[in-house]
Chains A and B, each alone.
Chain A
Amino acid sequence: MEVTVTVRRRANIADPAGTAVSKALRDLGYADVDEVRIDRTINLKVGGADAADVEARVREMCERLLANPVMEDYDIEVRP
């Protein structure tokens, strides 16, 4: 199954890359861009026939490796 994990920096952690991009957008004339946050997408192909089971395993992967809970949250989208 194809799985997409979106890893997002927690709201209370500064995102300097997002800030740099929002400044650049405003310099380009897009004055109404208030905030930019740059997240990370990880795409996986995982074996298994049960979507709930695949999601549980990917959740474990997120907890162990793919995301660092001190600074990141994550979403999982399973596409059977």
Chain B
Amino acid sequence: MKTAVLVFPGTNCEHDVVYALESLGADAELVWHRDTDLTSFDGVVLPGGFAHGDYLRTGAIARFSPVMSEVERMAASGRPVLGICNGFQILCEAGLLPGVLLQNRDLKFICRPVHVRVEQTNSILTRAATIGQVLEIPLNSYEGNFTATTEEFEALEAAGQVSLRYCNADGLVDGQSNPNGSMGNVAGICNAQGNVAAIMPHPERAIEDAIGSSDGRILLESFVASLEAALV
């Protein structure tokens, strides 16, 4: 089972993602954004960073990178597609997930651990976790403020596509625990099928207690499990 970890010009989290996946026993390979053949891969991760400098809008140019037609093919055929941070932004711009990521409410780049609560276990990102589980994971972003049209947002909620919400250490989801103004405290969502998922904080930076938290493991384990077995 092999995962493609995409590298756009300006991506900077790809090595951490490869390290994290390999530490979980999965095979991962870096793939440059101009590559147009992902047929030898079972899943794909779009990592964090500043693809194309975030020029025009974050993710707006990356969504047209040559490799994205393969990402779309994998998404349509039910393969696991995971976006982390900038990857979340790219998947939204590409229309593979609804909504958009705006500037953080307080106009500050947020770089600190946050807590997220698992809302649903129906996605490639959360299937190994438990509903209500609270995870501490680092957030590192300026455009992490998720928003969608009212109709889109209501549809997301109704269909159980909100996978993770910002919360406090006790799992309380409220305004105070929302670091960036994200609609509904949304920290992660998935598509209707559950095979395309995205998260704003960085699980690959929470895989060992030595770096502050290993809470991210359960999310990446979910992804690795999805390489072998599609969601029912």
State which residues 41-85 of B face A: CB under 8 Å.
56-57, 60-61, 64
Q: Give the chain B neighbours of A17 by CB distance below 8 A.
A: 103, 107
Given contacts A65-B60, A66-B56, A68-B60, contact A16 B147 (CB under 8 A): no
The interface residues of chain B lying within 8 Å CB-to-CB of A13 are 102, 147
Q: Does B229 contact A (CB under 8 A)?
A: no
Q: How many A-B residue pairs have CB under 8 A?
A: 31
Query: Quick check: A70 and B60 within 8 Å, CB to CB?
Result: no
Chain A residues in 8 Å Cβ range of B34 = none
Give the shortest distance, in Å, between A44 (CB) and chain B (any CB): 13
Give the docked Cα–Cα distance between A13 and B181 (Å).
12
Give, as a whole number of angstroms, the nearest-CB distance from B183 to chain A: 11
Asked if A71 is at the interface of the complex by the 8 Å CB criterion, the answer is yes
Asked whether, in the complex, the Cβ of A71 is within 8 Å of the Cβ of B102, the reply is: yes
Q: Is the interface on chain B under 10, 10 to 19, 20 to 34, or 35 or more residues?
A: 10 to 19
Residues of A within 8 A of B106 (CB): 16
Cβ contact within 8 Å between A16 and B103: yes
CB of A71 within 8 A of CB of B147, answer: yes
B93 at interface, CB cutoff 8 A: yes
Question: If A16-B105, A16-B106, A17-B107 touch, does A70 touch B149 (CB 8 Å cutoff)?
Answer: yes
> Residue B100 at the A interface, CB < 8 A?
yes
A70 to B102, CA, bound (A): 11
Residues of chain B in range 135-167 having any CB-CB distance to chain A below 8 Å: 147-149, 152
A70/B99 in contact, CB under 8 A: yes
- Chain A window 37-80, contacts with chain B (Cβ cutoff 8 Å), 1 for yes, 0 for no: 00000000000000000000000000001101011000000000
Contact of B147 among A20, A66, A70 (CB under 8 A): A70
- Rounded to whole angstroms, the CA-CA distance of A54 and B149 in the bound complex is 30
Which chain A residues lie closer than 8 Å to B56 at the CB level?
65-66
Give the Cβ gap from A69 to chain B, nearest Cβ, in Å.
Answer: 9
Query: From residue B22, how far is it (CB to closest CB) to chain A in Å?
Result: 35
Please tell me if A33 contacts chain B, counting CB pairs below 8 Å: no
Distance, CA A3 to CA B140, complexed state (A): 37
A24 at interface, CB cutoff 8 A: no
B107, closest chain A residue (CB): A16
- Which residue in B64, B99, B104 is a CB contact (below 8 Å) of A65? B64
Using a CB–CB distance below 8 Å, which chain B residues touch chain A? 56-57, 60-61, 64, 93, 99-100, 102-107, 147-149, 152, 181
Q: Please give 5 more A-B residue pairs, beta carbons under 8 A apart, in addition to A65-B61, A65-B64, A71-B100.
A: A16-B103, A16-B107, A66-B56, A68-B60, A70-B152
Top 7 A-B pairs ranked by shortest CB distance? Answer: A70-B100, A16-B107, A71-B100, A68-B100, A68-B57, A16-B103, A20-B107
